[in-house]
Amino acid sequence: MEESKIIEILRILENISHIKDIDTLLEQVLFEARKIVNAEAGSVFLIKDNYLSFEYVQNDFLYGNYENSSDYMYTKKKIPVDNKSIAGYAALTKKSLIIDDVYNISPNNPYSFNRRFDKLSNYITKSVLTVPLINNREKVIGVFQIINPTDKNGNVISFTDDDSFLADLFAKQAVIAIEKAIMTREIILRMISIAELRDPQETGAHVNRVGAYSVEIYKNWAQKNGITDKIIKYNKDILRIAAMLHDVGKVAISDSILKKKGKLSENEYGKMKLHTIYGARLFSNSGSEWDDMAREITLNHHERWDGNGYPGYINDLNAKKIKFKNGKKGDQIPIYARIVALADVFDALMSQRWYKDPWPEQKVFNFILAESGKHFDPSVVESFIQVKERIISIWGKFS
């Protein structure tokens, strides 16, 4: 056993223990687990309602190197926890499993390899190491699979017992971070479901999508603006959670306004606009980076690039009577709010709302392009268009 590998694992664990957002964390756990054994591909599942839900798949061979393109696929697939699949078998037996060639599994085994993904993608899976994620109450919370380790020349080799030992060691510690991040997400979702009880338009699926779109747009935008990979990784972790909370201030808006079916009067609309202020108040005291970003987003997600949005500059967020001024303009609006503004409008147009049917995808994209420089920051629109495919796959995953 190489001692340097164990030191490497300790370093990785230290890094991931700071990640608060569950999606960012799983993505990173999978990436690091693959890196330890130089594996070409991998996927991670979490157990939800007795199913293994496919959270991420990474494949350098198909999607390019993660560090460069941060590429992965959003997928909606789930499989039952039973011994018919390799991942299900590992979850049931709570044991890691090495398979040298998934196309030559002995028929004596209860599980078999599902060839569908290979067929769809023209990829050939061979060696697979499957590791259950077990918490300290001996409960399996998920499974990760690493696929096709390669040697220095890029040839696919087999996993060794040492690899399996290292992966188990890594998994044991990673579970602690994963459970913590799941709890954070649950608390946020509970906050959101309180807002959802008030405003039926703000569903869990909507906020999940707005969070995920925002991260994709930001990654592209930040790369183009010379922000380092390290800072991007850090910010996108906070951004997803903060973006999910964009409309949480609606908890303080009365039902007669939120649930009104029909045009709001001028007076009602004025009250509705206050949800930006109420949201910002929730995050006004703490001063952590997380609160700062959530405050910027709740306050500014209805500002427009051309200055025709709201609420404009507010001197005192806690004033009894809030007076709306002229909207902020251009890059006076914080970048995270410019991104969430687009993500939020995109999702509303794609969705069914009581006052409108979903728009066809092409019409939505045309509208966003037409609003570049008016409602939206042109550089954000440009990034949005460049990650269009991932935006559409997020729409598919959470709809």
Name the residues that contact Fe ion, by CB under 5 A: 247, 344
Q: Would you say 40 and 174 are in contact if contact means Cβ atoms under 8 Å apart?
A: no
CB of 204 or CB of 287, closer to Fe ion? 204
Which among 219, 236, 250, 328 is annotated as catalytic? Answer: 250
Least distance CB 198 / Fe ion (angstroms)? 13
Q: Which is nearer to Fe ion, 126 or 209 (CB)?
A: 209
Distances (CA, A) of 215 to 21, 70, 185, 390: 12, 11, 16, 11
Q: Which is nearer to Fe ion, 27 or 247 (by Cβ)? A: 247
Nearer to Fe ion, 323 or 353 (CB): 353
Per the annotation, the verdict on 271 as an active-site residue is: no
- The distance of closest approach from Cβ of residue 247 to Fe ion in the complex, given in angstroms and rounded to an integer, is 4
Q: CB 219 → Fe ion: shortest distance, Å?
A: 21
CB of 385 to Fe ion, least distance (A): 21
Name 131's Cβ contacts closer than 8 Å, sequence gap at least 6.
Answer: 33, 90, 96, 143, 144, 145, 146, 164, 167, 168, 171
Helical (H) or strand (E) element with 186: helix 161-198
Task: Please check whether residue 247 is in contact with residue 196, taking contact to mean a CB–CB distance below 8 angstroms.
Answer: no
Helix (H, G, I), strand (E, B) or coil at 77: coil
The helices-and-strands tally (H runs, E runs) of the chain is 17, 6
Q: Residue 151 is which amino acid?
A: D
Read off φ and ψ for residue 130, nearest 5 degrees: -115, 125
Q: Which residues are catalytic?
A: 250
